[in-house]
A and B are shown apart, each in its own frame.
Chain A
Amino acid sequence: MSLPPLPEQSKSQIAKPPARDGETSISGALAAKLLPQTRFGGPIPWVIAILIALVVVSAAGGLSLRNLADSARADLSDAVTIQITEADAARRARLTRAAADVMTEQPLVTSVRVVPEEELIALIEPWLGSAAQSDEVPIPALIDVELSRSVTGADIAELESALEAVVPEARIDAQSDWLRPVYDALSALQYLALALIALVALATAAAVWLAARSAFSNHEDTVEILHLLGATDAQVTRIFQRSVLRDAAFGATIGLFVGVGAVWLLSQQFSALNSGMIGGGALGWQDWVVIALVPVAGVLLALVTGRITIKLALRSML
């Protein structure tokens, strides 16, 4: 080996230490060289894909249940039903008209509709069969009353008071009361969806933590060399963060597509039921924006978890 003169370097070529930690960033190309990866052959991108798909389905389910409950409440919370139970048909008809008149005069009431007898018979026919049309089976009269706003207990008491003076046989039912157990069940399912999302987020963080620790262990020699050459913790962390970002972004994209596909299939199944109530659970554009943000949140969670994991691991080194 000959010994030519040591190559000259201008002052600008001489490496300067950073004024503060992390001032100099490592280029993506160098980071890729320092931390070579397989083409998504490891389990982590796929684990993240499964977890994101689960969150997408859970989020869609939770949002759909919320829409369903809101829709049902909107339909029923500003209406009451008046029921008049009287065996004598003529008297029942007279009381019904009187009750309708009383309701019409109330300031809170916007419309009053006496449910036609044919409609009532059609409603109970599935249970009573041809007996529903028999005069021997007295059918209560019903009056649908729509109100200008959501009804409260005080409103009901006021309407009852006005009605009692003229038609004491009449009974007022707030329609929303009928569905209270359904609302409670829907709320419980929404909380379940939220809990599932929280659990999956924890599982995602745990998976990223394990992956980052494993990557750090596998490349500990490289990290030590970089440290000895003057790399800062921020520079080393960025190398690993880039790897986490790549895996998480890939997994989250796959997870989003799988999750949205599952939601679409489920929505097709529910649409086929052709039920008015189920139709209230359809997802709006705001809901789709929320669902689209799920993978973004997943990637951010993975990045933060990876960063914390690597920073903690680096602190164990001098």
Chain B
Amino acid sequence: MSDSPNEIVKFDNVGLRYGTDPEVLSDLSFTLHPGSFYFLTGASGAGKTSLLKLLYLMQRPSRGAIRMFGRDMITLPRERLPDFRRRLGVVFQDFRLVQHLSAFDNVALPLRLSGATEGKVMKAVSDMLEWVGLTHRAQAVPATMSGGEQQRVAIARAVIARPRMLIADEPTGNVDPDMALKLLRLFEALNNRVGTTVVVATHDVHLLKKVPESLIMRLQKGRLSDPTGALRFPPRTEPGRVHQPRKSAP
């Protein structure tokens, strides 16, 4: 596979199986472009979470090749993974907040792990909590927060270090429709204003229409279909809808 500045992720004939079970993902070949907004859809059990695990480097594939940020992830030594994980922001379906840390400390984690000074952490986290409307809940621990509040903390944590790619697994699954739309607007703002590549896994087909410029990847029984041409190299240009990769985040 050749490197291209117009691709942030490239899967080539990727398959994934757990142990000796049948493959949960088969023959996945696609490219994600910097600054694009992707929806990953499919019925429950279609393999969305497994595909996201490959994207956020929690799982290695059973076969095939994966390149991210111009590097071959298959042969990448384990000790180099943190370097690449810090370029990603992940919003988990179950939020995965550290339960004994406050909202402030949860959001601050990526910066502190990167060695940012406390002064910078204080300002950046305060700004981010204000952005997601949780300044008044900064010292609350997750157990005392509502699902929507936890979701916003998870989003703030995912974007505080300005990741080059944001990956969200069913981010609207635990919130009401109004909150779902608001969260989606947050992702869109990140995509539009910072140029972050966004991948949102959802089985809610109504959400897909809410982001007009989004591209859709559909998983069916572990295989990808390509309803919008999102997976082509380069993506298909449709009348009135041109795929223009945005400038990526620094």
Choose among A13, A16, A21, A227 the residue that contacts B124 (Cβ–Cβ < 8 A): A13
Asked whether any CB of chain B lies closer than 8 Å to the CB of A33, the reply is yes
Give the nearest-CB partner of B194 in chain A.
A6
User: In whole Å, how far is B56's beta carbon from the nearest beta carbon of chain A?
Assistant: 6
Residues of B within 8 A of A36 (CB): 100
**Inter-chain contact A15/B96, CB cutoff 8 Å:** no
Which residue of chain A has its CB nearest to the CB of B102?
Answer: A33
Residues of chain A contacted by B113 (CB below 8 angstroms) = 15, 24, 26, 226, 229-231, 235
Task: Give per-residue flags for B179-197: 1 if the beta carbon is below 8 A from chain A beta carbons, else 0.
Answer: 1001001100110011000
A-B contact pairs, 8 of them (CB 8 A): A1-B152, A6-B194, A21-B79, A227-B82, A228-B85, A229-B85, A230-B86, A233-B79
Q: Chain B binding site: helix, strand, loop or mixed by DSSP?
A: helix
> Is B112 on the interface with A (CB-CB < 8 A)?
yes
**B84: A residues at CB distance < 8 A:** 17
A3 and B188 CA atoms in complex are apart in Å by 11
On whether the beta carbons of B131 and A225 are closer than 8 Å, the reply is no
Q: Does A274 make an interface contact (CB < 8 A)?
A: no
With both chains docked as a complex, state the minimum distance between the C-beta of B3 and any C-beta of chain A, in angstroms: 19
Please tell me if the beta carbons of B85 and A26 are within 8 angstroms of each other in the complex: no
Q: What string of 1s and 0s marks CB contacts (under 8 Å) between B11-54 and chain A?
A: 00000000000000000000000000000000000000000000
Select the stretch in B103-111, B198-206, B211-219 that faces chain A: B103-111
Interface contact A17-B189, CB-CB below 8 Å: no
Interface residue? B133 (CB, 8 A): yes
Given A4-B130, A14-B161, A15-B110: A318 and B83 interface contact (C-beta under 8 Å): no
Taken together as a complex, chains A and B put the C-alpha atoms of A315 and B78 apart, in Å, by 9
Residues in B whose Cβ lies below 8 Å from that of A228:
56, 58, 85, 90, 96
CB neighbours (8 Å) of B193 from chain A are 5-6
| A34 at interface by CB-CB < 8 Å | yes
Whether a CB of chain A sits under 8 angstroms from the CB of B74 is no
Contact B79 A1 (CB under 8 A): no
Q: Are A27 and B82 in contact (CB under 8 A)?
A: no
A residues in contact with B182, CB < 8 Å: 1, 3
Contact indicator A3/B189 (Cβ below 8 Å):
yes
Q: Is the interface of A mostly helix, strand, loop or mixed?
A: loop
Chain A residues close to B by CB (< 8 Å): 1-7, 9, 11-18, 21, 23-27, 30, 33-34, 36, 221-222, 224-233, 235, 315, 318
Contact B162 A30 (CB under 8 A): no
B82 and A230 contact, CB distance less than 8 A = yes
* Chain B residues closer than 8 Å to A18, beta-carbon distance: 82-83, 114-115
Report chain A residues within 8 Å CB of B105: 30, 33
What 0/1 pattern do residues 138 to 161 of B give for CB contact below 8 A with A?
Answer: 000000000000001000010101
With beta carbons under 8 angstroms apart, the residue of A1, A221, A227, A233 that contacts B132 is: A1
Q: Which residue of B lies closest to A4 (CB)?
A: B131
Contact present for B115 and A232 (CB under 8 Å): no
**Cβ–Cβ contact A318 & B132, under 8 A:** no
Interface pair A7/B133, CB less than 8 Å apart: no
Whether the Cβ atoms of A7 and B127 lie closer than 8 Å is yes
Within the assembled complex, what's the spacing in Å between the Cα atoms of A67 and B235?
85
Q: Which chain A residues lie closer than 8 Å to B115 at the CB level?
A: 16, 18, 23-25
Q: 6 shortest A-B CB distances, which residue pairs?
A: A15-B114, A24-B115, A7-B127, A230-B86, A15-B161, A17-B83
Alpha-carbon distance between A230 and B109 when the two chains are bound, in angstroms? 10
Cβ-based interface call for B207 (8 A): no
Cβ contacts under 8 Å, A6 to chain B: 131, 159, 189-190, 193-194
Given the interface pairs A6-B189, A228-B56, the reply to whether A1 lies near B124 with Cβ below 8 Å is no
Instruction: For B81, list chain A residues within 8 Å (CB).
Output: 318
The docked-state distance in angstroms from the alpha carbon of A118 to that of B183 is: 108
A17 CB to nearest B CB, Å: 4
B68 CB–A CB distance under 8 Å:
no
A227 touching B114 in the complex, CB below 8 Å, given contacts A1-B152, A9-B162, A11-B250: no
Residue of B nearest to A30 (CB): B112
Contact A16 B114, beta carbon cutoff 8 Å: yes
Interface pair A1/B109, CB less than 8 Å apart: no
Inter-chain contacts of B98 with A (CB < 8 A):
34, 222, 225
- With A and B bound together, what is the CA distance between A9 and B83 in angstroms? 20
* Cβ of A29 to closest chain B Cβ, rounded Å: 9
Chain A hits for B130, CB < 8 A: 4, 7
Q: Besides A15-B113, A15-B114, A33-B105, 8 other CB < 8 A contacts?
A: A14-B250, A15-B116, A16-B114, A18-B83, A27-B112, A221-B96, A228-B58, A318-B78
Chain B 158-181 near chain A by CB (<8 Å), digits 1 or 0: 010110000000000000000100
Q: Known interface pairs A14-B162, A15-B86. Does A318 touch B112 (Cβ–Cβ under 8 Å)?
A: no
Picked from A13, A33, A230, the residue with its CB within 8 Å of the CB of B116 is A13
Question: Chain B, 65-91, contact with A by CB distance < 8 Å: what is the 0/1 string?
Answer: 000000000000011011111110010
Report the minimal beta-carbon distance from A18 to chain B, rounded to whole angstroms.
7
Residues in B whose Cβ lies below 8 Å from that of A4: 130-131
CB distance from A13 to the nearest CB of B (A): 5
